[in-house]
A and B are shown apart, each in its own frame.
Chain A
């Protein structure tokens, strides 16, 4: 009898892009996602879009989570999506968080960022979103 297929947990690369050093949010999210059963790889600070995509490919991640608090999200978030396109890795889902005005959220979604979480988001809100997006774990 074939062994039942184990559900592989979703792997998430969390990254700080740009020069911004505000890492409180990303670290809190990292712990919460880990506690929720996800495999979390935190890249640390000052990542370029190329470095983030490298990390996601090396780690065989299904998701990239980007954090930015400096206001450079309109440049750097789409740059990560573009880099995924260039590397033919558009199956990797990109979400983001930080200080992001409402108008920018719509624009970023149009540019391929799947979801954005802003100040005041409960951690459970992020977990719920991931559960909905990956109901069967990683495949």
Chain B
């Protein structure tokens, strides 16, 4: 969220939503003893994504690993923040500039990096249907492509490193059809609309996470079964990577045991069942093909509506996506209330007495320790170098330079994430959404 751990707004949040990284010092601690040239890292970060990538590059420098040797993925998908997850900071235009800056920078300096993970997951979890998830995500993808082309980049120079991220919900065949439709649409649009020549530009590579929203607090062991079925849909739909949720994530961050069970579920699919041995195993099934065609048609309808609204950003500002998603979420809840949709253990097949389940508690000490850590960094660093770097960044933000080298220098000087974000806020301002119910 681009705020330091000692900001008043961070109260109560430290350690509950991922690891707290305030400055390069935290990133150094995180990767101590881990050779960055030998691994890949995925970072679920959006508004401050450019800063986190620079921190990673700076740790690699210290390890003697060149940026060109780094592999990994940055979520870096700001459009779905405006649409669904709502962790935006700057207004849309400067937010898009930062995304394009990072894509442009990586195309030259960090060529093995997946610069963005264009995400439907959060859109779906916020309440969209499968077709909406597909349509809004691919529309976002095309908006990034348009922005990069407008910057003057050639499609085949950046498109191969775009990646995607979808939800795997519980309706098995619909999910498989969604993944198949995503690949078809992307390949067609890349070739026909954008004239991509490189086959790698046509390929939609995607990560999948099972649906957090499908987990139930009631009879939570059932979540293991739900997750396994959702993961199977992802594999049969052709996902490149997979995250299986732990059964207790409906209560809190997972315990070690629950997280291990979730991992073992993947390993079971990978090593026991043989389902990953075949590409597109349901291709040719009349039902799955028909569903794929239908969901593709629905997505194309949405693309037309979004274009009529003037594109993705005007549609965000008109609250189009937000309204569509809220409508779907409400409809879904009504179906549950009226039992037109059954969720085992929630509105049917209930037990009288739920057994208590062990959950993970975050030690509140973690917050005070992290606050002390960031304050120590501010005291210890070369203040002149840090201030100079932030001044340069402020100037560059007001101009048109690619901001990545300026952010990298601020990171090297141990400027904190909050300080770097606030420097850019001074130039870019912040965004407040018009809340629609």
Contacts and interface: CB of A to CB of B under 8 A. Distances in A.
Interface of A: 18-24, 27-28, 30-32, 34, 40, 42-46, 48, 70-76, 79, 99, 101-102, 118-120, 122-124
B218 A120 contact: yes
Contact of A23 (B86, B333, B362): B86
Contacts of B329: 24, 27-28
Contacts, number: 102
Interface in B1-25: 1, 3, 8-13, 16-17
Interface of B: 1, 3, 8-13, 16-17, 81, 85-87, 125-127, 213, 216-218, 250-253, 325-326, 329-330, 333, 336-337, 346-347, 356, 359, 362, 432-433, 435, 437
Given A31-B437, A122-B347, A124-B337, A21 B86 contact: yes
A15 to B, nearest CB: 10
Given A70-B16, A102-B356, A44 B433 contact: yes
Contacts of A79: 11
A71 B86 contact: no
A65 B213 CA distance: 21
B251 A99 contact: yes
B13 A101 contact: no
A74 B69 CA distance: 43
B11 to A, nearest CB: 5
Contacts of B12: 18, 71-76
A99 B212 CA distance: 12
B347 A31 contact: no
B359 A101 contact: yes
B126 A24 contact: yes
Contacts of A21: 81, 85-87
A49 B17 CA distance: 20
| Residue of A42, A72, A74 with most chain B CB atoms under a 10 A cut-off | A72
Contacts of A20: 17
Contacts of A45: 86, 433, 435
Contacts of B11: 18, 72, 75-76, 79
A23 B87 CA distance: 11
Given A31-B330, A99-B250, A122-B337, A19 B13 contact: yes
A44 B86 CA distance: 10
A-B pairs with lowest CB-CB distance, top 4: A75-B12, A21-B86, A71-B16, A72-B12
Contact of A44 (B126, B218, B432): B432
